[in-house]
Amino acid sequence: MKKKVIVTGGAGFIGSHLVELLVKKGYKVLVIDNFETGRPDNLTKIRKKITIIKQNITNYGKIENYFRNCLYVFHLAALADIVPSIENPEKYYNTNVTGTLNILKASKKFGIKKVLYAASASCYGVVKTFPTDEKNKTMTEYPYALTKNLGEQLMTHWSKVFKISTISLRLFNVYGLRSRTTGAYGAMFGVFLAQKINKKPLTIVGNGKQSRDFTYVTDVANAFYLASKSNIFHDIFNVGTGKPTTVNYIAKKLGGEKIFIPKRPGEPDKSQADIKKIIRRLKWKPKISLDKGIKLLLQNINDWKQAPVWTPKKISVKTRKWFKYLK
């Protein structure tokens, strides 16, 4: 009999790749997703092999019983946009904090073996130490980052007090197929690909010399899988490559016209994960190089043909509150 696991947010960008991996590994996968940001199309290839529950993690009474007889819970469901978190911080708190609390409550009730949490490297804020390791001070810059970090703190607290095994993975810049054109994960690639396929200029924030630690989505899914199989009771790990790359380099590899827009406050000039800990303890390493990842995206660029296309004017309007509150 197949062992049952739950993936919250399993119809999302990262979640759908994780679901595919877990199905391949022989698990019976139950996806809990309200489809606010996730898309059913992301699960088309494996739809007949999984169970999908359309439900919001903020509604404890509606999700509780699905945790019965479950081995692992992979908690990826979250709201992950910066500007909307400024506009509606309460909604972000309800989903990313209260929703996470509900996951832990149900996991405790039904004796889940381990909860794996998608934490965010945004918890580090604007850092000055590179590469950045897990002991670095956290300094959140906006409500999204704050709520994700509070979710991570809940994981740590419940491991300590209620003896629930939890592992939090602090994800740096994840990219790959199915990436959205909004959100904290993969947004830049999604924006650029939608612009390129629709013959619009690539909108580069600032001077484009800022660098990010980009990790391909299937490598991230494998990090969650290895964390679940480990004998580690509780810990926190960075997930990245340790190799920062400039936005200008990405734009050059994708090709096309470029246009520069104002730099946004609260965004770091550089991100670089120190991944020595995850290599040592989980035996995880990224397998897909950035150049190979970009090649895969360009081979599938038609996937972004119908995606929203951002223009400098649209970006200016959308980020108005960003500049107002984070200046």
Q: Active-site residues: which are they?
A: 144
Closest C-alpha among 55, 69, 73, 85 to residue 18: 73
Which amino acid is present at 150? L
> Which one-letter DSSP state was computed for residue 45?
G
What's the rounded Cα separation, in Å, for the pair 204 and 30?
39
Q: Give whole-number Cα distances, 62 to 4, 56, 227, in Å.
A: 18, 8, 28
What's the rounded Cα separation, in Å, for the pair 319 and 184?
14
User: First-to-last CA distance in the chain?
Assistant: 55
Closest C-alpha among 180, 179, 172 to residue 214: 172
With 0-12 CB in 10 A as exposed, 13-18 as middle and 19+ as buried, what is 119? Answer: buried
> Which one-letter DSSP state was computed for residue 44?
G
Contact 267, 210 (CB under 8 A): yes
